[in-house]
Structures are given as C-alpha cells and as structure tokens.
A and B are shown apart, each in its own frame.
Chain A
C-alpha cells in the first residue's frame, strides 16, 4: 500500500510540476540596470522604510496604548488596538515582501554563475524558507494576540533594528557595481537624469 501511495504521489508531483512549468512566465533579463535598480530600491525600502528604529518603535510603542487606555473611552481603545494591529500586520507583510524580493534577486543573479556552491545555495534556500516562515508566524502572532502581546518586544525590536540597518548598509555595497553607473546623472553624455 505504501508503494502504491508513493508511486501515485510521484505521478501527481510530476504532473503538477509540468503544469507549473507550462504556466511559467518567461524569465526576465537579470543583471540589467533595471533589475539592479529595483533590487537596490527593495533593500533601501527594507533599510530605510521598514526596519528603522523609529518606525518599529512607533508601531509597537506601548506608551501609545497606555495613553489611550488612561484617557480614552472603551470604543476608542478598541479602535486604536484594531488600527495598530492592522499597521503591525501591514509592516510584517511588507518585510515579507522585501524578503521575497531579495530572494528573487539572489536567485536571478546566482543563476548567471556557472559555478555555484551547492551547500551555500541549499543553506540560503533553507534560510529564506525559515525567514518567510518566521514572518508568517509573526503575522499569526500579531493577528491572534495583537501587537502588544509580548512584554519587552518593543525594546528588543528597537535594539536590533539599528544593528540590522548597519549590517544592511554594508550588505548593500555589492549592488553598487559599475552596471549602475549609467543610471547616475551624466548630463554631459546624454543630458538625462534618473
């Protein structure tokens, strides 16, 4: 019976793979200036838009809750909690989207190299998967328990966010390659500016 199930599963998996293979869109030309610029924008948004201390601290600030609880009626408190939860969920969703974008960028560029490290690629794939799962877990946790469920969360977020930004800043250097140069303003050559 186990043989039967395994064989049928292999058959189903193959046909499903073929279905997605047929539906697969044409791959984009990775490594183009446009691609590099998009990747740079994604990482910039992660670094400056989603992870900065101030923003993360603001989203999860317990002082706001304490203020609302102490000075507003129950329906306002409820509205505040609901809106803050939506913001927190939106934040996690965008971080997740940026991670997906980073993953896409890495895969798109890695494929251009003839010699890849199978071990590194496997590790990266697992890391991406675990990170995306963690984001999902965070979404569920915020959805079920709200953004103020964990004591000390804001403090740890604020502390780590700054460090993340610093590391990200260094990490972004690899995108500052010569391919980006034509995008910079060179009015003497073509007069256009990006």
Chain B
C-alpha cells in the first residue's frame, strides 16, 4: 500500500469518525438514517480492511463483499435524498424512485439472465462489471434528481446539497475508473486506487462540511385554491402554447 493511499485511507477514517460524531452532536442522525448507516458501514469495513491489510497483506477476500454492502447502502442514500428533496412533491418523488427501481431491476435482470444463459458466468468473477453497472444506476438516479430539481427550480438545503455533491463526485469518479480498469486491464490498477481513494476523500470532506449541523429542507407554501388547481394551470399553459405554436407554425416560411 503506497504512502499516499495509506494517508488518504487514514484521513478518510478520521473524517468518517468526525461525521458520525457530528451526526449525534448535531442531532441529524435520525434525519438521515440511511446516510449515516452508509458512513458507519464504510467506517467499520474500512477499519477492518486496514487491519487485515496490516496483518495479512495478501488477503483481499473481504474487499468485494464490503464493496457490495456499501454499494447497496449507497442506493439507499439516493432514495433518502429523493425522499427529502421531493418531500412536498409526491409525483416527482415517485418519478425519481421508479426511474431508479427500473434501472436497478434491469441490471439485476441482466445479471440473472447472464447467470442462467452463460454456463461459465458467475458473479464473483464479474464483480467489477456488476459494480460498474450499479454505479451507473446510481449515477442515473442522481441525474434524475438533479434534472427534476433543476427543471422545476426546487430549492435544496445545505445538508442534502452536500450529500448529492459528495456522492456525485464519488460515483462519477467510480464510473470512470471502473470502466477504464475493465478496458485497460491490470495496468490501470495503481491509477484506479488513487482515483477511488481521492474521490472518496473529497466526498467525505464535502459531507463533513455540509453535514456539520442540521439544516431542514426549505419548504414552500402550497398555492391557495383561489388560483385554481394544478390541472387548470397545466391546461392554461397548454392552451397558450398551442396557440403560439399554431401561430408560429403558420408564420414559418414554406
């Protein structure tokens, strides 16, 4: 293990510890249970891996199980982010959740099909493939949330903003590094370690700053009934759009 990786690793453990302590002191533990479960699991598994790395340097059997546990908890974090961001918007939350469920479902279906159809295929031999696919699913889940919040201009609080940013950096770096490792091969392993660990340290730093204290999500007052319901708004907008469209369509030189 290089000095750089070791330094990053120990710094990561320190920051994870700080985040967990702050979650108790800042009373945000109960607000984001999945996120803190994710951090706690990474903290525990990273500590265990570090100790194993010292005692038995060639023992790598623990790495992939740890990756899968944190990967699934990471998916839970995205669901938690969606729940908080769209707390007042049932439909948008449903869209984000369904998008993620469909993508995860498609990945697991493809794994099941490969396992069934290809006799030589087994999940333990294709762990990097599966991890990359799940990271892509996480990336699409995050992008769905970012797209919907950007399109509707939904305000996001400091805590969730930090979670999205940190997680996004790590997932983005993972997608790149896992993909390149699969295509470049073992030659890419040293760079892979540096990218993964650095990205995770950056993510942890963002989380530490953003989650130092609890800040509730901004709430917006629902519109009064005097303005008519959503359907009226949508119908009116559609009507204006249709008329302008018709108008411009006939104006275009033919």
Bound complex: CA of A131 vs CA of B238, how far in Å?
12
Interface size bucket, A side?
35 or more
A192 within 8 A of partner (CB): no
User: A150-B254, A168-B240, A174-B228 are contacts. A127–B245 as well, Cβ < 8 Å?
Assistant: yes
A123 within 8 A of partner (CB): yes
Asked if B241 contacts A124 (CB within 8 A), the reply is yes
A33 within 8 A of partner (CB): no
Chain B proximity of A109: nearest CB distance (Å): 6
B244 within 8 A of partner (CB): yes
B140: chain A residues at CB < 8 Å are: 10
Chain A proximity of B169: nearest CB distance (Å): 7
Chain B proximity of A143: nearest CB distance (Å): 11
A178 within 8 A of partner (CB): yes
A179 within 8 A of partner (CB): yes
Number of A-B residue pairs at CB separation under 8 A: 212
Chain A proximity of B164: nearest CB distance (Å): 7
Which of A28, A43, A110, A161 has the largest count of B CB atoms less than 10 A from its CB?
A110
B94: chain A residues at CB < 8 Å are: 118
Asked if B228 contacts A164 (CB within 8 A), the reply is no
- Grouping DSSP codes into helix (H, G, I), strand (E, B) and loop, the B interface class, with mixed when no group exceeds half, is helix
B229: chain A residues at CB < 8 Å are: 113
Chain A proximity of B189: nearest CB distance (Å): 18
A102: chain B residues at CB < 8 Å are: 237, 240-241
Bound complex: CA of A106 vs CA of B150, how far in Å?
14
Chain B proximity of A59: nearest CB distance (Å): 10
Asked if B172 contacts A11 (CB within 8 A), the reply is yes
> Chain A, 145-188, contact with B by CB distance < 8 Å: what is the 0/1 string?
10001100100110111011001101101100111000000000
Chain A proximity of B17: nearest CB distance (Å): 26
B120 within 8 A of partner (CB): no
- Grouping DSSP codes into helix (H, G, I), strand (E, B) and loop, the A interface class, with mixed when no group exceeds half, is helix
Asked if A14 contacts B172 (CB within 8 A), the reply is yes
B228: chain A residues at CB < 8 Å are: 174, 177
Bound complex: CA of A167 vs CA of B235, how far in Å?
12
Asked if B251 contacts A7 (CB within 8 A), the reply is no
Chain B proximity of A11: nearest CB distance (Å): 4
B134 within 8 A of partner (CB): no
Asked if B234 contacts A99 (CB within 8 A), the reply is no
Report which of A27, A114, A120, A141 forms a contact with B154, defined as CB distance below 8 A. A27
Bound complex: CA of A178 vs CA of B227, how far in Å?
7
Interface residues of A in 1-60 (CB under 8 A from B): 3-4, 7-8, 10-11, 13-15, 17-18, 20-22, 24, 26-31, 43, 46, 51, 56, 60
A70 within 8 A of partner (CB): no
B253 within 8 A of partner (CB): yes
Asked if A110 contacts B233 (CB within 8 A), the reply is yes
Q: Which residues of A contact B (CB under 8 A)?
A: 3-4, 7-8, 10-11, 13-15, 17-18, 20-22, 24, 26-31, 43, 46, 51, 56, 60, 95, 99, 102, 104, 106-118, 120-121, 123-125, 127-128, 130-131, 134-135, 137-138, 141-142, 145, 149-150, 153, 156-157, 159-161, 163-164, 167-168, 170-171, 173-174, 177-179
CB-defined A-B contacts under 8 Å, sample of 5: A7-B179, A13-B143, A120-B231, A160-B246, A167-B239
Q: Which 4 A-B pairs have the closest CB atoms?
A: A150-B253, A111-B152, A177-B227, A7-B179
